[in-house]
Amino acid sequence: MKFFKYIIIAAFFITACKTTKVVIETAALKKMSARKIVKKHNENIFSANTLESKIKVRYTNNRGGQRKRHTFTARLRMKKDSLIWIQGKKSVVSVFKIKITPESFSFYSLVDKVFYEGDYEIIEKMLGIEISFSQLQNLLIGKSIFEMKGKRFKSEIVENSYKLTPKEQEDLFDVFFKINPKNYKLDQMLVKNEVKNETLRIDYNAYSELKNNIIPTKMMINATKGEDAYTWIDMEVRSLKINEPLKVRYKIPSGYKRLELNAE
């Protein structure tokens, strides 16, 4: 079940279309106020109604000195503001399906013969933070999952990006952003919980423009807990379509066992 658990986390961060990241030298960047950077980031709206992509996912997990590696293909279909559907395959064999709406989260595993239907509690237990449909959608399009409007930030130029540090951090964790100076989408989001010694780092390594929509193309996710527990996920998209009719099939097979939440 641990393998499937992290497969779910990987699927949430899947993105679209293959390209090369434009590198801008630090010396060429002009200083900009944090307020203006946040304004430009918030103005970057994803206008497409649907998104469909095929993604290659490489996954590595290490706990207690035991390292596991897996490679699989995922198909993502998204209807803006209403549906996220994901199918995972190993070779040509389907291994899981996920269906997410603003009101509910559901999945089933064809390997473990289990399913879950309910609210977002299972995702929140995995990620360690409260999360909503709009936040998951923002992750797919390279926008902050945290509200930035109306908050005060310190801005500086770091590693060819505009780094934003909140002047007042969240109660349970610290969060940092790096904003791409070309398109004002995220280059990186870093969330740290010093008390639990947990870190989640998401790098958006490339973007592509398709029909006036700027979409992330390559992502790296690194989640660490303690000194030796980590999860590494690398995603590379092989195909992308937007604004085309979607076919979504989702039905939990009979006889599958309902997955109950636990404290893990």
Parse the chain into domains and list their residue ranges: 2-255
Mean pLDDT of 115-121: 90
Q: What's residue 50's pLDDT?
A: 95
In this predicted structure, the answer to whether residue 88 has a pLDDT above a threshold of 70 is yes
In this predicted structure, the answer to whether residue 23 has a pLDDT above a threshold of 60 is no
3-state secondary structure of 55: strand
E strands present in the chain: 50-63, 66-79, 83-90, 93-100, 105-109, 114-118, 153-158, 161-166, 174-179, 186-193, 198-210, 213-225, 229-242, 257-258
Mean pLDDT of 65-76: 90
Q: What's residue 130's pLDDT?
A: 79
**What is the per-residue pLDDT across 140-196, written as a single tens digit (0 to 9) for each?**
889 998 889 889 999 999 989 999 999 988 777 899 999 999 999 999 999 898 888
Highest mean pLDDT among 47-51, 126-130, 145-149: 47-51
In this predicted structure, the answer to whether residue 239 has a pLDDT above a threshold of 80 is yes
Q: What does pTM read for this prediction?
A: 0.81
Q: What's residue 215's pLDDT?
A: 87
In this predicted structure, the answer to whether residue 19 has a pLDDT above a threshold of 50 is no
Q: What's residue 70's pLDDT?
A: 87
In angstroms, rounded to a whole number, what is the distance separating the alpha carbons of residues 82 and 101? 6
For the domain 2-255, what is the CATH superfamily, name and number?
Answer: Lipoprotein localisation LolA/LolB/LppX (2.50.20.10)
